[in-house]
């Protein structure tokens, strides 16, 4: 399966429908990983995407995340 970015952003994380796949891409190294909404601390459940992105740290050590919203295709 391949992830397709829809170039859409909900603004607030709680507005993103559950059927939308969220991927996080590190703009420093290019790694993409699925994002688990349930992993967010409770105080961020209604946060803006731009408030969440700077908090995400890649395995390369960079805090250069970009959240992508889309779906999987075969």
Q: What CA–CA distance (Å, rounded) separates 55 from 57?
A: 6
Is the dihedral angle over the CA atoms 28, 24, 44, 61 positive or is it negative?
negative
Per-residue model confidence as pLDDT tens digits over 14-38: 999 999 999 999 999 999 999 999 9
Helix (H, G, I), strand (E, B) or coil at 1: coil
Compute the mean pLDDT over every residue in the chain, rounded to the nearest whole number.
Answer: 96
Query: Hey, where are the domains in the chain?
Result: 2-73
> What is the structure's pLDDT at 29?
97
Beta-ladder partners of 68 = 23
Cα-only R_g, the chain:
12
Per-residue model confidence as pLDDT tens digits over 1-16: 999 999 999 999 999 9
Q: What CA–CA distance (Å, rounded) separates 60 from 9?
A: 25
């Amino acid at each position: 399966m391949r992830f397709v970015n829809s170039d859409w952003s909900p603004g607030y994380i709680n507005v993103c429908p559950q059927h939308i796949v969220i991927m996080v891409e590190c703009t420093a190294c290019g790694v993409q990983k699925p994002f688990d909404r349930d992993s967010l601390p409770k105080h961020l459940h209604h946060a803006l995407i731009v408030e969440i992105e700077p908090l995400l740290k890649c395995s390369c050590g960079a805090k250069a995340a970009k959240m992508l919203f889309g779906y999987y295709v075969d």
